[in-house]
Structure 1
Amino acid sequence: MNKIRNITITEYGRIYAGDVIDNVQITKEDINELKLFIDENNEKDKSLSSIEEYLKPIRNGVQANNFVGVLKTKSGLTIEILPKIANGQHDLNDMKKLFIKMLSTFKQINGKAFEMTHLSINDNSLIEIFIAMFLQEVNVIIKRGLKSDYIVLEQNESYLKGKLNIQKQIQLNSFNKTRFHSKFDEFDINIPENQIIKSTLLFLKKESKNGHNQKMINMYLHYFDSVSSIRDVDNTFKKIKKNREYAYYDQSIIWAEIFLKKKSFTSFTGNSLAYALLFPMEKVFESYVAHMIKNHLSNHEVYLQDSRYYLFDDDGSGNKHYRLKPDMIIKNSETKLVTIVDTKWKILNANGPAQSDLYQMYAYNSRYKHYGKDVNKVVLLYPQSNLYNEKVFISKKIGPNNMENLNSKIEVVFINLFNTSWIEKIKNRINE
């Protein structure tokens, strides 16, 4: 049996060849495979975000940047990457719990699947938790019933079934008039969707080390006894049906694509790794904050990723340019006052917000007012920082009689992700 080689780091953590992390020796082969993964993605579509924003090559090692999740090299090293939070009172298990909690709101993940896995976060790695979430989705399929469809079959028997396949009949039975090569349709569960599920179960049977997950995998495989496993992964995925009848397969297919095609929740893939389940942390943070605000703000309308307006209405040729897309527009149903909110997954240092972020917020404020919105304030939401204090940036305009009037107000607000009281704090800020 191969030795289990699992390590856990946080965002911006570095791994060097020769390091010993969690009693695991990091080899040069491990680092080379990670760097090959980086090179593979750097050679792809240049319009995509650079892989080095997420995983960066350094001398004799690599550095994890703005993504979290789990990846495994073909040399057998499993790396868990957890969020980096500016709070020394919390250990890695706390970080893992927080990450799973935030991830449960991510639009591509069915958060209820984790709640029903019954796995302890403390006692299990991220990969086992993700496997359990996939298995929960398979359980949904089994309970509702495996889909069947008409599939084309061929046989060469002593009786004719369906249509005679003339070409094959001439080819195979020219000298044997007692046999018929026939082609026919049959209603069967051996369809691409079920083949994908079975193949994923077989793959995870080799990967999982958790007794409960292993038990579930073996039990579920019995339901797929008459289903073939797949050889051509890409071609089989192209054959899946996407309609209402197959909607309850959607989540399991998403997970299967990650495990079988090594297609992560980022745009990055690669054959140099066994698998990579990577999540852009800025998107996870944005999703979690939006979910909490929508669920706890009564008497407010919350619009996500509002993209109605542009920075420039005309370039001289009648074309608009630079679409605005703030994370949240929060409108008080009674006063009609608007708060614009953008989330930033950055631990601020003593220098505070990036100048570009403040420019962006000022543009939101200016353009939404131009379009007739009664903007009360703009809020930049960051995770808690111990190096910078919350601030309010105010710009004024000179009115009649040299009177100063408020032009814009941009608030830098921190939230303590380990304490949900931040919701009340945001509600109070919005209603001020």
Structure 2
Amino acid sequence: MKDCTKPIQVFEYGSLQIGEDTCFKKKHWEMLGWYNETHGGRYFSLTPKGVRFNQYVGVIQAGDLVIEILPKVGKQAADSEKSIWRNVLLDMLSQCHWMHVHANEKAYLKFRANSILEAYLELFVNECETLLRAGLVKKYRFQEKNCKALKGKLIFGKNIQYNLVHQENFYTRHQVFDQDHLLNQILLKALKLVATISSSPFLRDRVQSLLLNFPELSDLKVTAATFERIQLNRKTESYAEALEIAAMLLLNYRPDISGGRNNVLAILFDMNDLWEEYIFRQLARYKNKKWSLHNQSQKRIWQSESERAFKVVRPDLVISMDGFHSIIIDTKWKLPDGEYPGDNDLKQMFVYNEFWKCKSALLLYPTNSFSKLPGFKPGNFINGNGLLHRCGMVTVSVLDESNSKLDPMLGERLVNFIEEEIKRCPKDYQIK
């Protein structure tokens, strides 16, 4: 009999089927369908007796079941590799600062024994404990209430309404300096959520201790607009990590409106976005000081005559040197479809080179096969017999030489390769 207290692990683009021999039941299938419907069907698709996942990786808690969706490179991946790719995902998230990890290596290793969800919950609890030890920030706010002494502004209408008999009281609007403000209210609401969804008795005990030490605060309804109102300053910048995880938990939680236990929480990431961010940070870490590195820069490619509508092109990464746009990089989290770039990819890269006046464009793919040098299949855009600019396919290993963890040298290898590619390009490709 399967142990349903442990997370079910599947790879991206994998599927789960309802069955008597699995922990995935019809009730979980219905919960996932309900959750996906509220998000426009973006995270996965339902099949008649199961669910098929797409490019989103992370963790989903549906009632009493936790599902971890792991990244992979290629169509096949063995079950024995799930722990490797789970750690790869955690490493990528931490290096992209999508998941804060303490410098203490023992604390980091402790997360590995839990699910991805429990890792996030523990990080949030750690941040709240740190904030509480330092003292929760106080702010000024206005309050309306009955007071024994006259302070602030007397509200005449309500004073008559409430104090016609008790004339010793004053109904006023006055300033108070306390901890009952938006930042602390968000943390308290998220802590109460952690207490209900965590499967770790130890973590729940820590949360209960925190709740006992938290002051009484006003309740609030949290939406995306709630977090848009937040403006941190020097006094409140220590709240940043806790608020980031709180937003992730509160905005992705869908409680069962019938009052049951069919609640759903999903913390999911588009693997294409994560791969792009990871490559950007690896290049930024090891890049030449002469480089200027930009991600998601854009230019207009078309606009209506009225200029009310327009279309843009947006390459993933642009590297400039000495005032020239030297290299365009477009990241792809998949294996190449063939030995050479596809037509659509080539057209896309040609436009990038033309608009940014670049001498080379690279389609960057991951691979499972470790190599000290990135794989490279070069090519050129041509016009007749004339060379316009270059475009090639590059593959880099995600795992290190042992095939057991994320390659820590990926960024350095890639930077060295790009510098060699810049040297290979003829000088007359450089157009200011």
Residue in structure 2 matched with residue 132 of structure 1 by the alignment = 122
Give distance in 1, aligned partners of 2:287 and 2:198.
41
Contact 1:9 1:81 in 2 (8 A): yes
Residue in structure 1 matched with residue 428 of structure 2 by the alignment = none
The alpha carbon displacement at 1:149 in A equals 1.3
The alpha carbon displacement at 1:158 in A equals 5.0
Residue in structure 2 matched with residue 72 of structure 1 by the alignment = 61
Give per-residue Cα distances to partners, 1:339-360, cap 9 Å, x unaligned.
2111111133447644322221
Q: Which amino acid aligns with 1:416?
A: S
Contact 2:10 2:68 in 1 (8 A): yes
- The more displaced of 187-196 and 352-361 is 352-361
Structure 1: gaps of 5 or more residues:
43-50, 399-403
The alpha carbon displacement at 1:287 in A equals 0.7
The alpha carbon displacement at 1:18 in A equals 1.8
The alpha carbon displacement at 1:65 in A equals 0.4
Q: How does 1:4-403 map to 2 (within 5 A)?
A: 4=5, 6-18=7-19, 20-21=21-22, 25-42=23-40, 51-52=41-42, 54-73=43-62, 75-86=63-74, 88=77, 91-106=81-96, 108-112=98-102, 117-142=107-132, 144-156=134-146, 158-210=148-200, 213-224=203-214, 226-228=215-217, 230-234=219-223, 237=226, 241-245=230-234, 246-262=236-252, 273-305=263-295, 307=297, 309-311=299-301, 322-333=311-322, 338-350=326-338, 353-369=341-357, 373=358, 375=359, 377-384=360-367, 391-398=377-384
Contact 2:283 2:412 in 1 (8 A): no
What RMSD in Å do the two structures reach over aligned CA positions?
3.5
Contact 2:350 2:381 in 1 (8 A): no
Q: Which amino acid aligns with 1:58?
A: T
Given the two structures, how large is their TM-score scaled by the length of structure 2? 0.80
Give distance in 2, aligned partners of 1:422 and 1:270.
44
Contact 1:34 1:273 in 2 (8 A): no
Give distance in 2, aligned partners of 1:61 and 1:414.
34
Give per-residue Cα distances to partners, 1:320-364, cap 9 Å, x unaligned.
95323211122345x957121111111334476443222211211
Contact 2:180 2:218 in 1 (8 A): no
The alpha carbon displacement at 1:244 in A equals 1.6
Q: Which amino acid aligns with 2:54?
A: N
Give distance in 1, aligned partners of 2:227 and 2:296.
32
Give distance in 2, aligned partners of 1:331 and 1:183.
58
Contact 1:262 1:270 in 2 (8 A): no
Give distance in 1, aligned partners of 2:106 and 2:164.
59
Contact 2:340 2:393 in 1 (8 A): no
Give distance in 2, aligned partners of 1:57 and 1:352.
34
Contact 2:320 2:327 in 1 (8 A): yes
SS of the residue corresponding to residue 381 of structure 1 reads strand
SS of the residue corresponding to residue 175 of structure 2 reads strand
Contact 2:73 2:334 in 1 (8 A): no
Give distance in 2, aligned partners of 1:108 and 1:235.
18
Give per-residue Cα distances to partners, 1:400-422, cap 9 Å, x unaligned.
xxxx4432322211111112343
SS of the residue corresponding to residue 127 of structure 2 reads helix
Structure 2 CA distance for partners of 1:321 and 1:153, relative to 1, 3 Å: closer
Contact 1:68 1:82 in 2 (8 A): yes
Contact 1:192 1:240 in 2 (8 A): no
Give distance in 2, aligned partners of 1:343 and 1:243.
33
Q: Which amino acid aligns with 2:330?
A: D
Give per-residue Cα distances to partners, 1:122-159, cap 9 Å, x unaligned.
31100111112222332453355311112334444655
Give distance in 1, aligned partners of 2:58 and 2:228.
29
Given the two structures, how large is their TM-score scaled by the length of structure 1? 0.80
The alpha carbon displacement at 1:163 in A equals 4.1
- Over the matched positions of the two proteins, sequence identity in percent amounts to 24
The alpha carbon displacement at 1:427 in A equals 2.9
The alpha carbon displacement at 1:295 in A equals 0.8
Give distance in 2, aligned partners of 1:183 and 1:164.
6
Residue in structure 2 matched with residue 411 of structure 1 by the alignment = 392
SS of the residue corresponding to residue 124 of structure 1 reads coil
Give distance in 2, aligned partners of 1:9 and 1:166.
64
Give distance in 1, aligned partners of 2:381 and 2:346.
12
Count of residue pairs the alignment pairs up: 399
Give distance in 2, aligned partners of 1:113 and 1:193.
25
Q: Which amino acid aligns with 1:343?
A: T
Contact 2:12 2:56 in 1 (8 A): yes
Structure 2 CA distance for partners of 1:239 and 1:285, relative to 1, 3 Å: closer
The alpha carbon displacement at 1:262 in A equals 2.0
The alpha carbon displacement at 1:263 in A equals 6.6
SS of the residue corresponding to residue 338 of structure 1 reads strand
Give distance in 2, aligned partners of 1:34 and 1:291.
33
SS of the residue corresponding to residue 336 of structure 2 reads coil
Give distance in 2, aligned partners of 1:316 and 1:174.
68
SS of the residue corresponding to residue 399 of structure 2 reads coil
